[in-house]
């Protein structure tokens, strides 16, 4: 009876483990990795350093962040797995989270609503926005086995880069050159495509959110090679100053706007005067050309008559010109020697 019970138990275990749970499917937005006795099925001789995702890693990081490439099971099924195998499914759908999100502590950053950062002029500001990310199917090993909490790592990685960018952010003109402080005052207004950029850091950040977002996207290109999570896009939507200096900052902005308006008016007036000067020069040039043109034509006619055998033509022309001058003159002074002749 014991042997029969053992056989029945072994048969039931076989049915449950190999028949009922021996098949699995993978959804369209999922990828799966199968482990055998806890070891993932790897692609022999291939690591993540052989993939394009590692191009954005520095030389000092390539030796730290290299993982084996594993065999990824795509959507479909049913697939068969042995009892000693385990299937790890991962969703590759794009997820959205606040930039203040911390999966390990829901109370930080004002309950995941505002991220604090410090600007280059020592202002403690609040930053709001969203972050989109997804699991990289090219580096599932890092996501599943290489990092204990990949989402926490990627958020910490993003926040550290964002705070560093904010602390060192500077306005750049149309040629990509940073604006240096003038006379020790971190406020300068420059010309560039008709726009005016100011050197007050929080104003710079507010006016250049697109550039800040682009910088963050470039800086985070190596996240998939590091943690197996690809940062799809970051969208910083708001930067708020401390409440105790908000009114002072508004007054500074008003003063800068008035100065910018005065400079714009002065530039417009200068441009108008320059244009008027150009028109005056063109008019005088046309008048001079109108006076010179008859002389040039007469000279051409006289030269043509001389070439055709009429040398007395020039003398006749000079005589007529002199008579015209004598007719218009009120007084003529003549040398006695010329009269005797």
Regarding whether 121 and 67 lie in a shared domain, the answer is yes
Task: Give start and end residues of each alpha helix (H) in the chain.
Answer: 2-14, 59-62, 108-112, 140-141, 150-167, 201-207, 209-219, 223-227, 246-307, 312-328, 336-340
Q: For residue 20, is it within any domain?
A: no
Regarding whether 163 and 94 lie in a shared domain, the answer is yes
Q: For residue 192, is it within any domain?
A: no
Which structural domain, as residue segments, surrounds residue 270? 259-328
Regarding whether 324 and 221 lie in a shared domain, the answer is no
Please state the φ and ψ torsions of residue 100, each to the nearest 5 degrees.
Answer: -95, 10
Regarding whether 312 and 230 lie in a shared domain, the answer is no
Q: For residue 289, is it within any domain?
A: yes
Regarding whether 322 and 291 lie in a shared domain, the answer is yes
Regarding whether 112 and 145 lie in a shared domain, the answer is yes
Regarding whether 297 and 266 lie in a shared domain, the answer is yes
Q: How many domains does the chain contain in total?
A: 2
Place of tokens 């009269």: 339
Regarding whether 270 and 218 lie in a shared domain, the answer is no
* Distance separating alpha carbons of residues 16 and 70, to the nearest angstrom: 28
Q: Which of 203, 69, 82, 189 is nearest to 141 (CA)?
A: 69
Regarding whether 312 and 266 lie in a shared domain, the answer is yes
Q: For residue 187, is it within any domain?
A: no
Regarding whether 93 and 234 lie in a shared domain, the answer is yes
Query: For the chain, how many residues are written?
Result: 341
Q: For residue 185, is it within any domain?
A: no
Dihedral angle sign, alpha carbons of residues 248, 254, 256, 262: negative
Regarding whether 233 and 94 lie in a shared domain, the answer is yes
Give the pTM.
0.58
Q: For residue 273, is it within any domain?
A: yes
Q: For residue 194, is it within any domain?
A: no
Place of tokens 């499914």: 89
The domain that holds 97 is classified in CATH as 3.30.479.30
Q: For residue 49, is it within any domain?
A: yes
Pair 168, 219: CB distance under 8 Å: no
229 Cβ contact partners less than 8 Å away, ≥ 6 residues apart: 133, 134, 135, 136, 143, 150, 151, 154, 223
pLDDT in tens, the chain (341 residues): 567 766 666 666 665 555 556 788 888 889 999 998 888 888 888 888 888 888 888 888 888 888 899 999 988 878 888 888 889 999 989 888 888 888 888 888 888 888 888 888 777 888 888 888 899 888 899 888 888 888 888 888 888 888 888 888 776 554 444 444 433 333 433 344 433 334 456 777 777 888 888 888 888 888 888 888 888 878 888 887 766 666 666 666 677 777 878 888 888 888 888 888 888 888 888 888 888 887 787 777 777 777 776 666 667 777 777 777 777 777 777 766 655 55
Regarding whether 217 and 98 lie in a shared domain, the answer is yes
């Amino acid at each position: 009876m014991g042997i029969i019970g053992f056989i029945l138990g072994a048969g039931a275990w076989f049915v449950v483990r190999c028949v009922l749970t021996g098949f699995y499917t993978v959804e369209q937005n999922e990828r799966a990795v199968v482990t055998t006795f806890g070891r993932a099925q790897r692609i022999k001789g291939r690591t993540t350093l052989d993939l394009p995702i590692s191009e954005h890693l520095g030389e000092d990081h390539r030796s730290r962040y290299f993982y084996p490439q594993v065999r990824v099971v795509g959507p479909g099924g049913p697939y068969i797995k042995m009892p000693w195998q385990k299937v790890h499914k991962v969703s590759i759908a794009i997820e959205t989270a606040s930039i203040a999100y911390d999966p390990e502590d829901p109370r930080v950053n004002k309950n995941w609503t505002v991220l604090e950062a410090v600007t280059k002029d020592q202002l403690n500001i609040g930053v709001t926005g969203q972050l989109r990310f997804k699991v990289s199917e090219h580096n599932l090993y890092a996501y599943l086995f290489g990092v204990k909490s990949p989402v926490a790592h990627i958020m910490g990685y993003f926040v550290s880069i964002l705070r560093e960018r904010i602390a060192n952010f500077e306005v750049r003109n149309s040629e990509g050159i940073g604006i240096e402080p003038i006379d020790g005052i971190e406020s300068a207004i420059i010309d560039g495509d008709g726009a005016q950029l100011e050197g007050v850091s929080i104003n710079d950040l507010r006016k250049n959110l697109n550039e800040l977002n682009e910088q963050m996207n470039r800086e985070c290109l190596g996240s998939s090679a590091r943690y197996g999570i690809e940062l799809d896009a970051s969208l910083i939507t708001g930067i708020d100053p401390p409440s105790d200096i908000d009114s002072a900052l508004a007054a500074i902005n008003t003063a800068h706007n008035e100065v910018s308006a005065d400079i714009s008016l002065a530039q417009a007036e200068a441009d108008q005067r320059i244009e008027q000067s150009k028109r005056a020069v063109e008019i005088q040039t046309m008048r001079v050309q109108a006076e010179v043109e008859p002389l040039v034509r007469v000279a051409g006619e006289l030269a043509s008559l001389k070439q055709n055998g009429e040398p007395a033509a020039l003398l006749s022309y000079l005589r007529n010109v002199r008579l015209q001058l004598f007719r218009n003159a009120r007084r003529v002074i003549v040398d006695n020697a010329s009269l005797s002749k």
